[in-house]
Amino acid sequence: MKVTVHVRRRPDIADPHGTTVARALRDLGFEEVSTVRIDREILLELEDADPETVEERVRAMCDQLLANPVMDDYEITVA
């Protein structure tokens, strides 16, 4: 079963990577760029076929490793 996890930095948490990219874009002449946020997309393939069990297991993966529960929010899509 294919699973996509989209991890986003919480809006109230600084995104230093995004800030660096925004500054670099402006330095390259793209002055219209005011803010950049960098998100992550994690693609997983799991052998289990039960979508409910898969989502539960992936949620545990996110809480323990894939996302920082203090700084990130995540969304799981089971296909």
Mean of per-residue pLDDT scores for the chain: 95
Q: Which helix (H) or strand (E) holds 70?
A: none
For position 48, what pLDDT does the model report?
A: 75
- Domains of the chain with bracketed CATH: 2-78 (3.30.1280.10)
- Per-residue pLDDT at 41 exceeds 90: yes
Q: Please compute the mean of the pLDDT values over residues 46-68 and round it to a whole number.
A: 93
Q: Please compute the mean of the pLDDT values over residues 5-9 and round it to a whole number.
A: 97
Q: Which helix (H) or strand (E) holds 55?
A: helix 51-61
Q: C-alpha 29: how far from its chain's center?
A: 28
- Per-residue pLDDT at 68 exceeds 90: yes
Asked whether the beta carbons of 38 and 18 are under 8 A apart, the reply is yes
State the pLDDT confidence band at 49, using cuts at 50, 70 and 90.
Answer: confident
Asked whether the beta carbons of 7 and 77 are under 8 A apart, the reply is no
